[in-house]
Structure 1
Amino acid sequence: MRKLIVAATASCLVVLGLAVPSALGAMPTSNAKVVIIVGPVAGSTSFYKSDADAAAAEALKYTSNVVKVYTPTATWAAAKAALQGASIVIYMGHGNGWPSPYGPFQTYTKDGLGLNPSAGSDNSTTKYWGEYYLARDIRLAPNAIVLLHHLCYSAGNSEPGNADPTLSVAKQRVDNMAAGWLRTGARAVVAEVYNSGMWGGAAWYVRQLFTTSQTVDQMWRSNPNFNNHVLSFASARTSGYTAKMDPDGVNKAPFGRSIVGAAGLWTQEVTGTRTRIAATASQ
């Protein structure tokens, strides 16, 4: 009876034409470049580095092209050199987004990277390189994805201790934080504020990108921390792109998850995996 139920379920999926995430039939090999950047975050630095190391260890299972740029030597020069041609970018550090209490808005320091002002300075002093520099100086690989983890403002959230924003302000923060990265050639920007490791964090995303066949949107929705409170809106900053948020509440804070991306981007388009795909439903 159990076999009949499984077979019937698989048949329904085919008839209905549902898109079902698939697992790659063999361990994929890829030349995809993975760049992991950890900026100075004072007392949180060791935790961020540990979380980044978990993502790096996962990436090394599938590609040898993994580059780490960590504080206290995470300067703009080092980050800029490493980022060229990257297929997966992971950034953990301070977020300097907009709208925020620190006006006025300008693109030289907002919505980019918080890095060391000079190599070997310390793990606290931060210099911000905003979306202007991302758009001007960085060229990622075709179909690249950017994963922003633990950043203030990235998913619409505020800094710890500050009041939650309105939904309107949160939407602007999500849209602005993605804008510079999308001008580097990235096709999707994911922000996860609270998740870490294999529990929906960067390491989890790396595994999904290299070992499954699904759209990036499906991947984002399959995160173990998915709230099923998705709201969507057209990006005001990047024509043709759609932003989505998945707050803890329905259309309200806390805000901790977002994605801004092009429709129809698949995981194997990001990583360039070419191994045979076997549908999970038939296994």
Structure 2
Amino acid sequence: MSQVSTNPDIKLNDGVTIPQLGFGVFQVPPENTQEVVAEALDCGYRSIDTAAGYRNEEGVGAAIAASGLARDEVFVTTKLANPDQGYDSTLAAFDASMDKLGLDVLDLYLVHWPCPDRGEFINTWRAFQELQEAGRIRSIGVSNFLPHHFEQLFDATEVVPSVNQIELHPYLQQQELRDFHARHGIVTEAWSPIAQGDVLGDPAIVEIAERHGATPAQVILRWHLQLGNIVIPKSVTPSRMRENLGALEISLSEEDMAAFAKLDKGENGRRGFHPDRFNGYPEDFQNR
């Protein structure tokens, strides 16, 4: 593999920078989270993505506290749990998350889902703005928003989200939504970047990986990086954590990128909930 750069930073629309390749803890059991995140930090990850709905913020905070790393060396993202949407409830939920994380200032706070039937994401966003203005959050963004959700935000508020974290992988490439982000200065962040493993055996991806002497996961993550996405793969296995960082040492050709583009299945490729049909009730709000 040809050596490329170390983990690059992405600059957000508010001037905050975030490592492009981070580490996600979705579905990491709370009792294992501290150990898993400690291993990720030891491997070299410096961006950790959690959520109130994952119920593992305490483990993330404990691992960071025990790491010996300076606070400004680790970028921390968490997300508001869907049942807590609303102005006052958002402020209270944020305090609860910060207590669990053991932090004074959060790097990035996301509205986890638009939950359109609830009709609260604009009030929620106003609370986010207040927290940012008070210096308690460096950057504020959203997750799983579609253009019409953004248009409602734009009509009602002044601050454009810095990030939209969406399901994005070779089978669900969301080109139209990514184009919308680009027009409005919103950075795309990919969750489920390898479709929960469903794309690893795709013959086209296997062929690209073999050509580069890499694994399928590495070339998929490299595809994300070359698109300009922030990407947050998850693994509880130290060897795979290190393997994923190997994506930084690969460079895909235009031919490779064109082969990836042909894999898009549109909505048929979606593995998670559609944002217009998910309202995040308590029994399922852990879902991505």
Say whether the fold is shared (TM-score over 0.5): no
Q: Higher helix proportion, which one?
A: 2
Q: For the pair shown, which has the larger CA radius of gyration, 1 or 2?
A: 1
User: What is the TM-score of this pair, normalised by structure 1?
Assistant: 0.32
